[in-house]
C-alpha cells in the first residue's frame, strides 16, 4: 500500500455550452486520444437529435437517462475464512453516476 497521501478530488466545472456538470462528465467519458472538441461535437449533435425527436429539453432527457441508469446496489467480494462471498452494498452517489455514464457510453458505441 502506498505511503503517499490520497489524491485530492478536483471539482467538476460545468460545461460552458450547456452549463451542466453532467455534460462535462459525459464529454470526458466520450473523449478519445484527448480530442475534446470532437467529443463536445458528438454530445451537441446527440442533444440536437434528442430535441428534434422528443421536442423537450435534451439536458433534462439526458439527466433522466443517467438517473434511471444509476445503480443503487452493487455486489462486492467479501472474504470470510476461506470462502469469498458476494455481498450487496449500497453505491455512493458519485460512484453510481460514474458507473451510469460509463455504461451509457459503452453501450452507445
pLDDT tens digits, one per residue of 81-101 = 899 999 999 999 999 999 999
* CA pair distance 15, 21, nearest whole angstrom: 6
Q: Which of 86, 92, 54 is nearest to 71 (CA)?
A: 92
- Domain membership of residue 14 (yes or no) is no
Q: Percentage of the chain with pLDDT > 90?
A: 85
Question: Is 10 inside any structural domain?
Answer: no
Return the CATH number at 70: 1.10.455.10
> What element of type H or E holds 2?
none
- Cβ-contact 51, 58 below 8 angstroms: yes
Q: Residue 86 sits in which domain range? A: 21-108
Q: Is 103 part of any domain?
A: yes
| pTM for this predicted structure | 0.84
Structural domain contains residue 33: yes
* Domain count along the chain: 1
User: Is residue 7, in this structure, part of any structural domain at all?
Assistant: no
Structural domain includes residue 8: no
Hey, which bits of 1-109 come out as E strands?
73-80, 83-90
Amino acid at each position: 500500500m502506498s505511503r503517499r497521501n490520497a489524491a485530492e478530488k478536483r471539482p467538476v466545472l460545468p460545461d460552458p455550452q450547456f452549463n451542466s456538470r453532467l455534460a462535462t462528465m459525459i464529454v470526458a467519458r466520450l473523449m478519445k486520444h484527448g480530442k475534446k472538441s470532437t467529443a463536445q461535437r458528438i454530445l451537441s449533435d446527440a442533444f440536437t437529435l434528442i430535441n428534434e425527436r422528443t421536442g423537450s429539453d435534451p439536458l433534462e432527457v439526458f439527466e433522466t437517462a443517467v438517473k434511471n441508469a444509476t445503480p443503487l446496489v452493487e455486489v462486492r467480494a467479501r472474504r470470510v475464512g476461506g470462502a469469498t462471498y458476494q455481498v450487496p452494498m449500497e453505491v455512493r452517489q458519485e460512484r453510481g453516476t460514474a458507473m451510469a455514464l460509463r455504461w451509457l457510453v459503452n453501450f452507445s458505441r
